[in-house]
Amino acid sequence: MPITVQCPQCKKTVEWNSDFPFKPFCSERCKLIDLGDWASEKHAIPVKPEFDPQLLDELGFDEEHFFKE
């Protein structure tokens, strides 16, 4: 059974795999939309950090938040 992740931008459920290029988003489009929203709303921080599951894990980030059964 594949692991799936819900795109935070459009809520579409997509299959997660180790080399999925746009995670946690379903596509480059959603990723860019999110980056654009982020840039326009968070002027204090001009660049969104690269999404890095390993780093998040080190920070104690709850990765299950992104997973859907």
Residues of this chain that bind Zn ion (CB under 5 A):
7, 9-10, 12, 26, 30
Sign (positive/negative) of CA torsion 53, 41, 47, 11?
Answer: positive
Nearer to Zn ion by C-beta: 8 or 53?
8
Whether 30 has a binding-site annotation, put simply, is: yes
Q: Tell the smallest beta-carbon distance from residue 11 to Zn ion (Å).
A: 7
Q: Tell the smallest beta-carbon distance from residue 4 to Zn ion (Å).
A: 13
Nearer to Zn ion by C-beta: 23 or 53?
23
Encoding tokens for residue 59? 């920070």
Q: Terminal CA-to-CA distance of the chain, rounded, Å?
A: 10
Encoding tokens for residue 56? 């998040």
